[in-house]
Amino acid sequence: MTRIDQRGSDARADQPRTGRRARLAMVGLAVVVGLVGCAPADDDGPRPEASAPAAAPSPTPTPAPRPVPDVPVTDAGIDEVEAVAAVPPVDLSIPSLDVSLPIDEVGVAEDGQMEIPPLAERGGWYRYGAAPGDPEGTAVIAAHVDSVASAGVGPFARLGEAQVGDEVQVVRADGAVVTYAVTGVERIAKPAVEWPDVFVRGGPARLVLVTCGGTFQRQARSYSDNVIVTAEPVGG
């Protein structure tokens, strides 16, 4: 979570990371991830359990704003940090679950939440944390469990079925494959998730995968839980 002001005060943070180093000013970055993997607010159709696997007309109606439940906000508490070159992930697979999805680089949305690709078929890597293959820090990849844009569930709908020891393979932009082994699978009610334990910039290298789980609460337009899978590098 090493990046810009929550409202984007440093435009340099959105520049691609190349081989050079850049000093990025930080002013109280805050990220809320209690909604990752949740369905868009305009979906009124029947919802699956989270564990289950033409030109637009003009003018286009303005969608209703998504209600935001009372979830914790984590202050990164950083004054400045040094950004280094990183090789982004482009694909992730969990062979034991027949899960495979491409990965996009994401950051922080205007509302302070971690960005998630709108299609449930795509995952998002938080580019201001560690990257898969980095020698330290937590690489975070999240995806919607389902979405209106996808008209159904995505690959991460099976994330809760992961077992300790399952392999997770991440392909990087340079063609290298980083292999992890699952060390933990948690299903946690959203208000109880300790996000500072997920977005860790230092410490041992690891990978954390996040989506929604539990039951879909129509009034809140949100799933009740988060599914959090932790994995460590194989042979690292």
Query: Would you list the domain boundaries of the chain?
Result: 36-53+87-233
Q: What is the pLDDT of residue 11?
A: 35
pLDDT at 217: 74
- Bridge-partner residues for 101, per DSSP? 92
Q: Which of 127, 182, 120 is nearest to 152 (CA)?
A: 120
What pLDDT score does 6 carry? 32
- pTM for this entry: 0.70
Nearest to 232 by CA among 204, 211, 210: 204
SS3 97: helix
3-state helix, strand, coil in the chain (%, to 5): 10, 35, 55
Does the domain formed by 36-53+87-233 have CATH 3.30.830.10?
no
Tell me how far CA of residue 120 lies from CA of 64, 109, 142, in angstroms. 21, 17, 10
pLDDT at 55: 47
pLDDT of residue 59: 56
Which pLDDT value is given to residue 216? 83
Point out the residues of the chain with pLDDT beneath 70. Answer: 1-85, 220, 236
Give me the count of residues in the chain. Answer: 236
- Partnered with residue 29 across adjacent β-strands are none
pLDDT at 139: 98
β 177-189/222-233 pair status: antiparallel
The pLDDT value given to residue 73: 42
Identity (one letter) of the amino acid at 221? R
How far, in Å, are 29, 112, 123, 138, 200 from residue 158 at the CA level?
31, 27, 14, 22, 25
Residue 152, pLDDT score: 86
Report the pLDDT value the prediction gives residue 151, as an integer from 0 to 100.
79
Tokens 């709908």 belong to residue: 157
- Tally of CA atoms within 13 A in the half-sphere of 153 that contains its CB: 19
